[in-house]
Amino acid sequence: MKHFWDIELLHKPGERPTYTSPGYYVLDVILETVSEKSYAELLEENIFDPLGMKNTHVHNNRTIHKNMATGYQKGLEGYALAGIEEESTRLAAGNILSTVKDLYRFQKILDFVGDNILSEKNKKMLLEPHSPNFSLAGLTMSVPYNDGKDKMTFIRAGGSSYGFRALMDRIIEKDALIAKAVSKYRRFQSIGAQSPQPLWNEELLYHIEEFHNLLDGRLKEFPCILGSHLGPRV
């Protein structure tokens, strides 16, 4: 912390969002010191296990995961295998390994109803915008439609690692989810635009009540590294 505690702040707290990995490093140290448990243990016990996220883990470059997707990046002569990122330095600033099905299980808590993960009070603190277009859960956008008579509120979280990229949009009013994971690194286009064509891709756009019909094996799960942004939000 000596490297940055005397540095002048870019703006006043709460004025606007600024992403900072060291901020999550400090949070990680606080959590592990108080609980006397590792960051991975805390996530497993308090989020992943209660939500049934059996294919979501803190990645460590050593554990073998079944059906793990291979990451690609575009090279000079086509696609090549992406490099391996050293995950031990990420701490609480990323390195979450997951699938789109588990993202569905996670996003169910992104509403204002208290549950076994967060109380109603804490959810309000998490989801209500603290600065324009941002809440503690991520980018929060209000999109008008029907000639401005109605609106849809998107809570967006995304992340990336070498060869992988993931994006999740939770639509509050419609009780719906858009989740996307690709095994090549490329920025996603905006919702409504033509989607990129990845080497491997899973997309979901289902009303949550209909999603249960998909849990019969018709969709395959391939773990994909979500990277820097989704991890801290979790």
Task: Say how far apart CA 6 and CA 13 lie, in whole Å.
Answer: 16
Secondary structure E strands in 149-212? 150-161, 164-171, 176-182, 201-207
Work out the widest C-alpha separation in the chain, in whole angstroms.
Answer: 55
Strands of 150-161's sheet in order across: 134-135, 138-145, 150-161, 164-171, 176-182, 201-207
Least confident of 48-62, 116-130, 194-208: 194-208
* pLDDT beyond 80 at 134: no
Residue 230, CA distances (Å) to 21, 56, 160, 197 in order: 12, 12, 9, 22
pTM of the full structure: 0.70
Residue whose entry in the numeric block shows the structure tokens 């409504």: 192
Q: In which band, very low, low, confident or very high, does the pLDDT at 231 lie, cut at 50, 70 and 90? A: very low
Q: What are the structure tokens assigned to 200, written together?
A: 């491997």
Structure-model confidence comparison of residues 212 and 146, the more confident one: 146
Backbone angles phi, psi at 213, to 5 degrees: -70, -15
Q: What is residue 38's predicted lDDT score, i.e. its pLDDT?
A: 92
Q: Which domains does the chain have, with CATH numbers?
A: 21-233 (3.40.710.10)
Task: Say how far apart CA 123 and CA 117 lie, in whole Å.
Answer: 9
Q: What is residue 30's predicted lDDT score, i.e. its pLDDT?
A: 94
Q: What is residue 49's predicted lDDT score, i.e. its pLDDT?
A: 94
**What is the arithmetic mean of pLDDT over 55-72?**
82
Q: In which band, very low, low, confident or very high, does the pLDDT at 193 lie, cut at 50, 70 and 90? A: very low
SS3 31: helix
Chain centre to alpha carbon of residue 38: 20
Straight-line distance from the first to the last Cα atom of the chain, in angstroms, rounded to the nearest whole number: 23
- The vertex-226 CA angle with 222 and 231, nearest 5°, equals 130
* pLDDT beyond 70 at 187: no
* pLDDT beyond 90 at 47: yes
* pLDDT beyond 60 at 208: no
The amino acid occupying position 162 is: Y
Average pLDDT, the chain: 73
Q: What percent of the chain has pLDDT over 90?
A: 12
Least confident of 18-27, 97-106, 224-233: 224-233
* pLDDT beyond 70 at 146: yes
Q: Report yes or no: 165 and 155 within 8 Å, Cβ to Cβ.
A: no
105: left (phi over 0), alpha (psi -120 to 50) or beta: alpha
Q: In which band, very low, low, confident or very high, does the pLDDT at 212 lie, cut at 50, 70 and 90? A: very low
Structure-model confidence comparison of residues 61 and 25, the more confident one: 25
Residue 68 exposed, middle or buried by CB count within 10 Å (0-12, 13-18, 19+): middle
Q: Residue 176 pairs with which residues in a beta bridge?
A: 171, 207
Structure-model confidence comparison of residues 133 and 56, the more confident one: 56
* pLDDT beyond 90 at 32: yes
* pLDDT beyond 90 at 201: no
**What is the arithmetic mean of pLDDT over 113-137?**
79
**What is the arithmetic mean of pLDDT over 110-134?**
80
